[in-house]
Structures are given as C-alpha cells and as structure tokens.
Amino acid sequence: MKRAATTTTAAAKRTRTLGATCRLQPSTDPPVRTLILGTHPSVKSFAEAPLAAKEIRLRGGSGPQAYGNSRNAFFNVCGSALGFRRDVPGSYEAQRRALTAAGVAVDDVVRECERAGSLDSAISGAVATNLPAFLSEHRSCERLVFAATAANFFKKREPAGHGGWLRTGVSAASAEEPATGAAPTTEQPARLRTRVVDFCVVVADLSETLRTSPYFATRQPAAAAAAAAAERAVQQLSWKMFGKCKAVRQVTAAQLAALRESSSLSSWAARVVELVVLPSTSPAAASMRPAEKEKLWHVGCFELAQPSPSYACAACGQHSSGHWLLDCSEYSVWRAERAAMHKRGASDDDGFGWYV
C-alpha cells in the first residue's frame, strides 16, 4: 500500500510544460548560422518558483532562461568562447546578445511534454519543435548542434522527434512538394522549397586536419594535434549518433563546402545541413569533467582551432596562451586545490568555480 501511495504522489507532480518561453530567438542581423538544441528546459530554467540569491547570481538573472540551472555549464562554456562571464548580475541579456552576435540561436528538440522534475528520462507525451519550419524561415542556418541527450530525442519517431525526417530527408510538412527533380513554380510558397534536406556529418582525416591547422603557422604542432583530436572526437560522436539514419551521409569538410556552394546556386536544390553532437552540459551528465566539455564545445560548436583571444586559463592564469584549461600542465594540481576550496565553502569570486 505504501508503494502505491508513493507512485500516486509522483504521478500527481507531473506537469505539462511549454519550452518556448526559454528559447533564444534567432537574429537576422547577423543571420543565424548555428542552431543549438537542448532537450527541454529544466525546472530551474522556467524559474516559476523563487530562486535562492546565490542561484540568481550564478545564472546572471532571476527570470526564465535557456539552460537556467546554475550548475549547467552551457553558458559558462559559451562565455569562455565568446568572452563573457555568467555570474555577473543581470548578465543573461548580455549572454543572449553575445550568442546572437555570433550567429547562434538556442532552442529545444522537445517543444512540450509532461515531466516530474528535470531529468530527460522522465519525459513523456513529448511533442517536437517544428525544426523544418525553422530551417524554412532561416535559410542561413546550416548547422544543428545537439547535446547528446537532445540528439536521442531528435531521432525518435514523430510526434516526439523527427525520425522520419532523418530517414528520408523530407519532413512531413513537405508532402505537397513535387517529386525530386521537378522545377519549382512561382505558386509554391518559399516554406515548401526548403524542406528537402541533405543531412551531413563531417568526418575528416586526422592528418589532413593537422596539415591545415593554423597552429603550424605559429609552430605549435602539439597544440594542433590536441585541437585536431578534439575535432575527431566530436565527429565520431556525431557519426555514432546519426550514422544509421538513411538521410544522413558522411562527408569531408571540403565535400561539405562544395555541397553548400551547389545548394546556394539553386532555390530547388536540397538544403545542406551539418549535424553536430556534443556532450551534455547538464550536471546530470557527470561522467565527463567540465574542462573536457568546454574544449569539445569550443571546437565542435564554435569551430575554434584554438582558444579565443579573451580566453583565460584558470590554472596558469595566462590569456591568449594557445591552450585550453584541459591541456594546461598545471590543470591537475589546480583542480585538486580548487576542489578542496569548494569543500571548505570558500567563495568563488573569479568565475572559475564551475570547472570543479
């Protein structure tokens, strides 16, 4: 009887939520090039219940936010790539502007669902975001970047995901389109001319990546190898996720560029969209350290071959050092000292506490 009562209580706490209140709207100036997709906002992202003062400070505001849990490293990772700090009062709007200026929009794969708590595994009754419509409206968008858990939902069958789209390259909304090869007519609205998608995952040869790396121009072959290895890890993760989908193909970076150029020459050519999968920045995905996630996101999402000029290594304190924290020779010692500080309850005034 006691177990039945517990189950009933848990079921009563399930609520249906709409994630649109937390999305980061795309820009037309500059146009959006990359759409980052999470699964669905957490309880703290909606911020419907009062938040503690420390939580408000660490997340840079008190209202609804994308990736609004202060322990979610997403905006910290973006900040170290684009040059902003998350834990500054009122900084959320500045964070949004920085992403928009970089041609990035943020949304979720699941538009609405029922869930108790914030775990993706608790989601039921999911309805997917209309991503085909987004690509129709924003023709400049050429990359979909997923957290790994979000990619799993994207692969689900409709209406929870877009599994059919990944199998055929044609969304359900494009059923009225003419057969492949038919010329577009003036009567066909623009929204119907962008629904056939050529999904691609870039998998480059490691030696080719090293030869073309800007690190060799500055005589840093070790740093080039580290960046290339991170790029390879992202590519492998992306192909592992989508490689079995029939409408997804493997290409080199040069082939992807050629496909995009060909697509841009015809309004009726298949839309070329790159798929990228990265580790989740959620605190629930604790098997990978934040410094490792940071490097993979910088390389895979922001396409950095080296840390940005504003990047400061938390361990050695150097700016524009040419290495990420993960690759710093002082990282292990710094991390141990920082963990000890965290256990003592020491204050985090330098903005690096999220690494621990």
pTM reported for the whole predicted model: 0.85
Q: Is residue 185 part of a domain?
A: yes
pLDDT in tens, the chain (356 residues): 444 444 333 444 677 777 666 777 777 778 999 999 999 988 888 877 888 998 988 889 888 888 999 999 999 999 999 999 998 888 888 999 999 999 999 999 999 999 888 888 888 899 999 999 999 899 999 999 999 999 999 999 999 999 999 999 998 654 433 333 334 444 444 444 445 789 999 986 545 554 555 544 554 666 677 778 898 999 999 999 999 999 999 999 889 999 999 888 776 668 899 999 999 999 989 999 999 999 999 999 999 988 999 999 999 999 877 899 999 999 999 999 998 988 887 777 788 989 98
Give the pLDDT confidence score for residue 83 in this predicted structure: 93
Domain identity same for 304 and 343: no
Q: Please report whether residue 11 resides in a domain.
A: no
Same domain? 40 vs 188? yes
The predicted pLDDT at position 180 comes to 35
- 332 lies in the same domain as 219: no
- The answer to whether residue 187 sits within a structural domain is yes
Can you give the pLDDT at residue 214?
54
Residue 351 pLDDT = 86
Same domain, yes or no, for 304 and 332? no
Residue 143 lies in a domain: yes
| 9 in any annotated domain | no
How confident is the model at residue 256, as a pLDDT? 92
Q: Which domain CATH number covers 276?
A: 3.40.470.10
Same domain, yes or no: 318 and 304 = no
Domain span holding position 164: 19-311
Per-residue pLDDT, 186: 42
Judge if 335 and 284 occupy the same domain.
no
Q: Exposure of 166 by Cβ count < 10 A (0-12 exposed, 13-18 middle, 19+ buried)? A: buried
User: Residues 200, 79: one domain?
Assistant: yes
| End residue of a domain, out of 274, 295, 311 | 311
pLDDT score recorded for residue 148: 95
Same domain for 116 and 220, yes or no, is: yes
What is the model's pLDDT at position 45?
87
Domain count, the chain: 2
pLDDT of residue 220: 61
Q: Please tell me whether residues 341 and 237 are part of one structural domain.
A: no
Q: Are residues 354 and 301 in the same domain?
A: no
Question: Do 344 and 332 share a structural domain?
Answer: yes
> Is 6 domain-assigned?
no
What pLDDT, on a 0 to 100 scale, did the predictor assign at position 336?
94
Q: Are residues 179 and 241 in the same domain?
A: yes
Residues 197-218 have pLDDT tens digits of 899 999 865 455 545 555 445 5
What digits encode the pLDDT tens for the residues 257-275?
Answer: 999 998 887 766 688 999 9
- Domain boundary (276, 294, 311) is at 311
- 5 within domain boundaries: no
Q: Is residue 349 part of a domain?
A: yes
What pLDDT sits at residue 109? 95
